[in-house]
Amino acid sequence: MTKIDLKKIEKWTFLVLGALAVLLTVGAFDRLTGTALFGINFIFIYAAILALLFFLLALYFRRLSRKEKSGERSLGLYIIQTVHRFRFLIEQLVTRDFKIKYKRSVLGVFWSFLNPLLMMTVQYVVFSHLLGIRGNIEHYAIYLLSGIVIWNGFNDCSTQAMRSITGNAPLITKVYVPKYIYPVTKVLSASINVVLSMIPLLLVTLVYGLLSTPHLYLTKAVLLIPFGILLLVVFCIGMGFLLSSLMVFFHDIEFLWGVLSSIWMYATPIIYSPSMFESRAAWLVRVMQFNPMYHYIGFIRTIILDGASPAASEFGICALCSALMFLLGFLVFKKTQDKFILYL
């Protein structure tokens, strides 16, 4: 097994988690201090939970260290050693996929900024002025743009990951590399575009917010956006595992996914608001609650449009959707990966 520096990995893990904890605390401070559970201000419960998580993580690293010295097998050690061993390949695959996307493009990476803005402009004119779907949605341009950015990110990540195994067939049949690296790197390279697309969204919000009535301001809740993107990426990795597995055995899944993703897009409140159906079809609003993308898009919109932290329930729902999708995709991928070589 590959020798690793667990001390260094532990240090960086605590630094990253500590930074995320600071972002969460600052971004959701009003929500944390304004909530009580069993008569206790939730900020104290939150601090206790954080302290417990860091303590348990420290114990886990101590256990990994003992297992490494004794030569025992451990899933945690295996994952860390695999990432450490293939870190150069992972970096190269992510870089390659990102560069290929804009190869021979005049504007290059600038398309990550321009594409959502162009789509928002066209859809804003069509749905707001021509079809009148806007309804009573305030700040419709930002409402539309935030939905487009998150949906495009999900669709791009899923589509890229779906082709990850068949697209790397020559490499898979000649060199041993853990196969799950391919869908993961595809999602990671596509997620760079999601991060880049958030920049024009925030810039447009700043400019549009000052010119609109009522004004729209970005608040400290914007620090919670990385959590929404992180949960979406985990969800996409799970979807990527599932789709890439199916793609190996059923090539028609590529065309079927194109149809299903279109249906899914229109079933997600990107261009319209669920409030439009509350009086006519309340059951439809309840059905939307089972759509994961409804919650991921709502998570970002709450931060940008309301200037507030999403409710704890929304954090929980998004995290649950990500965990379930990741687990389902991983189990399907693990079950079928040994047969890939027979169909590539």
Of 100, 235, 80, 245, the closest CA to residue 155 belongs to 235
Of 303, 145, 328, 291, the closest CA to residue 227 belongs to 303
**Neighbouring C-beta atoms of residue 178, cutoff 10 Å:** 15
The predicted-structure confidence for 226-254, as pLDDT tens digits, reads as follows: 999 999 999 999 999 999 999 999 888 98
The pLDDT value recorded for residue 51 is 94
* Joined tokens for residue 125: 């004119």
CA 193, CA 3: separation in Å to the nearest integer? 34
CA 235, CA 229: separation in Å to the nearest integer? 10
Residues 39-54 have a mean pLDDT of: 86
Residues 13-39 have a mean pLDDT of: 86
C-alpha distance from residue 72 to each of 22, 77, 245 (Å): 35, 9, 31
The predicted-structure confidence for 155-202, as pLDDT tens digits, reads as follows: 999 999 999 999 888 888 888 888 999 999 999 999 988 888 888 889
The predicted-structure confidence for 252-292, as pLDDT tens digits, reads as follows: 898 999 999 999 999 999 988 888 877 777 788 888 899 99
